[in-house]
A and B are shown apart, each in its own frame.
Chain A
């Protein structure tokens, strides 16, 4: 049934999502929202993997497993990131990325 939707359409969606996430990363000044943007990017990649696996290489489940591991690592990454953000908030009393630019040049 889903064959009517070509693979490319799914890929377009994921690509769009990826760059939406990237846009968020570029523009959001709040660290947590930046993190959220990154999650969007990772999710778009997940879609890619699943779609490739399903459409092109159904012989084994490599793409699917990759997705699983990405999700796991994303969780770990998010956890560490949030811990760091919280710590940053303690010292800076702000989680605006523009406030954490002490080191430059």
Chain B
């Protein structure tokens, strides 16, 4: 087994960049901050590719099975001899695949930001945060210990918070970052408790050990966790469900998705990095990472499936109605992640039934490229028109030819039009769904059509529709164009990667083939949806308005994001604050503290009440004296003899 220790440098380089830029960025390095960040990430990317090459093509496979290699393990915090947080590096197909995705997309974003963020006052800080995020994400991917995952999970959350609130003097950005952090934190609580459950019964935090113990139905750990139950479900289901809650929070699954659209307040390259390719798929990654254990609990997998499917559909519907281009993309992301989730949910652990697993990760892989492309493209557009709203755009195809083409490719990819990348991965998912669960297949198919529709609604609105009123001032520097071109190339090309040869649930390569007959239905539906979008939005007209009027209430509801935000607001502002927070604050002031005050007041009152004893009259003193004598006499002569 060869040495993978150099992988350590992949996350470490961004960390070093972060520390350097964080401490000295403002004063000394502001000029070269971008270059420094990009260079270090470039190195990381190279290393990732080296690692991928080494793992997938040289020594990852032993006897036809990809091995899980723990390249490093250091006990960082020992809770008890069994339970500890180890900092480790796990090298297996999904981690290596994710390394490549994260470093590549991050690199693209770094490069793009050189142009996009140029001239910002806190340029160095921006790169510092970007490096921090990349570090956290890479750490998350490489974690070999479930608590380590949690740690980096939190770090990812906070760096996302920092990046979203980059424009800190914009109240909406601050609010969005708060929302993102708090919602994911809430979900993380589930994750944490899930970890505690699994760790307690599994007797370890090590992912490998946990999988080993929980997948053998004869191990004592497995017996104890399945025999213990709470509210009718076994602790295994509970633990996994709670872990999935954590994943759902980060991956913006319904109903924990509300932070994602708001998070678009951050700089657009950040959205491309965090909210398209990396952080939001962490949930998918987490479930995939623990998949062998998930596969032992039917109930947990069902939850994953239905939550995924519901999110896919739900987000797609909303995406059709939004007018802010980044929000459309955000809902689209949510929808696509829903795809990945339910694909995992319907999968089996290995073999032919493991198609869903493979498909899910394949979709994750392809999606990363075309979605970040979409975001970067949107970024370029926003950079140009200084607005997120569709109504401010239109006819930009002539002003921004490169962006236009790249965006179109990405749209085709996400719509699943062959031969673009999305087609292949989506196809696998649909196939898996078709075999496992027809309802899910139906939803998936419908969602696919909706996806094509809203993506092209977006595309036409930006690049066609009315003629532009914006005076020409170029498409931006080459640093912004280059990533678009590279990513467009990827969006075309990555579909041809023989993904099933590398990443499967059990490490054994899976033979897949495209069933062209089967793919007719989705492709035709997508094309129809594209045509519909073209009819509505290619030129300025009022056809769409009529349709909207036809949908009536449904449209309004979808436009208002089905009022989920309002429900949350209601719960927090109208229930938690006034019915929990304020009563407690009130009780603290008036009851608990009041009780202490009351003691003082009572003492003072009594003191006031009995002041009459000291009447100043010497005869009364004598009377009290005599009273004391009598009392003592009676007490001690007759009562307490």
Contacts and interface: CB of A to CB of B under 8 A. Distances in A.
Direct A–B touching, Cβ under 8 Å: yes
B513 interface: no
B617 A97 contact: yes
Contact of A22 (B611, B614, B617, B626): B626
B623 interface: yes
B619 interface: yes
Nearest to A19: B626
B605 to A, nearest CB: 15
B517 interface: no
A105 B617 CA distance: 10
Report the interface size class on chain A: 10 to 19
Contacts of A34: 619
> Interface centre among A25, A26, A29, A105, by most B CB within 10 Å?
A105
Nearest to B619: A26
Contacts of A100: 618
A76 to B, nearest CB: 20
A25 B622 contact: yes
Contacts of B553: none
Interface string B599-641: 0000000000001101111110011001000000000000000
A103 interface: yes
Contact of A105 (B616, B622, B623, B626): B616
A105 to B, nearest CB: 4
A104 interface: yes
Contacts of B626: 22, 26
Contacts, number: 29
Contact of A98 (B611, B617, B623): B617
A102 interface: yes
B617 A101 contact: yes
Report the interface size class on chain B: 10 to 19
Nearest to B623: A26
Interface string A58-97: 0000000000000000000000000000000000000001
A2 B615 CA distance: 48
Contacts of A102: 616
B622 A26 contact: yes
A40 to B, nearest CB: 14
A42 B617 CA distance: 22
B608 to A, nearest CB: 9
A97 B615 CA distance: 12
B615 A101 contact: yes
A101 B620 CA distance: 11
A87 to B, nearest CB: 16
B611 A97 contact: no
A63 B380 CA distance: 119
Contacts of B616: 101-105
A105 B619 contact: no
B478 to A, nearest CB: 92
A83 B449 CA distance: 117
A105 B607 CA distance: 10
> Interface centre among B611, B615, B618, by most A CB within 10 Å?
B618
Contact of B619 (A25, A103, A104): A25
A67 B617 CA distance: 31
Contacts of B622: 22, 25-26
SS of B interface (majority) = helix
A1 to B, nearest CB: 36
A97 B621 CA distance: 12
B89 to A, nearest CB: 80
B618 A104 contact: no
A28 B145 CA distance: 93
A103 B616 CA distance: 6
Contacts of B612: 105
B612 to A, nearest CB: 8
Nearest to A22: B626
A28 to B, nearest CB: 8
Interface string B80-116: 0000000000000000000000000000000000000
A14 B324 CA distance: 109
Contacts of A104: 614-617
A102 B614 CA distance: 12
Contacts of A27: 619
A27 B617 CA distance: 11
A7 B615 CA distance: 41
A97 B614 contact: no
Contacts of B623: 26
A26 B618 CA distance: 9
A91 to B, nearest CB: 16
A4 B617 CA distance: 45
Nearest to A31: B618
B618 A105 contact: no
Contacts of B611: 105
A63 B40 CA distance: 110
Nearest to B612: A105
Interface in A11-31: 22, 25-27, 29
Interface in B308-351: none
B621 to A, nearest CB: 10
Contacts of B617: 97-98, 101, 104
Nearest to B618: A97
A12 to B, nearest CB: 18
Contacts of A25: 619, 622
Nearest to B615: A104
Nearest to B608: A105
Contacts of B618: 97, 100
A22 B626 CA distance: 9
A45 to B, nearest CB: 15
Contacts of B614: 104-105
B604 to A, nearest CB: 14
B234 to A, nearest CB: 73
A82 to B, nearest CB: 16
A14 to B, nearest CB: 17
B166 to A, nearest CB: 68
A74 to B, nearest CB: 17
B65 to A, nearest CB: 94
A101 B619 CA distance: 11
A36 to B, nearest CB: 14
18 contacts: A22-B626, A25-B619, A26-B619, A26-B623, A26-B626, A27-B619, A29-B619, A34-B619, A97-B617, A97-B619, A100-B618, A101-B615, A101-B617, A102-B616, A103-B616, A104-B615, A105-B611, A105-B614
6 closest Cβ pairs, A-B complex: A104-B616, A101-B616, A105-B611, A105-B614, A101-B617, A26-B619
Interface of A: 22, 25-27, 29, 34, 97-98, 100-105
Given A26-B626, A97-B619, A98-B617, 8 more contacts: A22-B622, A22-B626, A27-B619, A97-B617, A101-B617, A104-B616, A104-B617, A105-B616
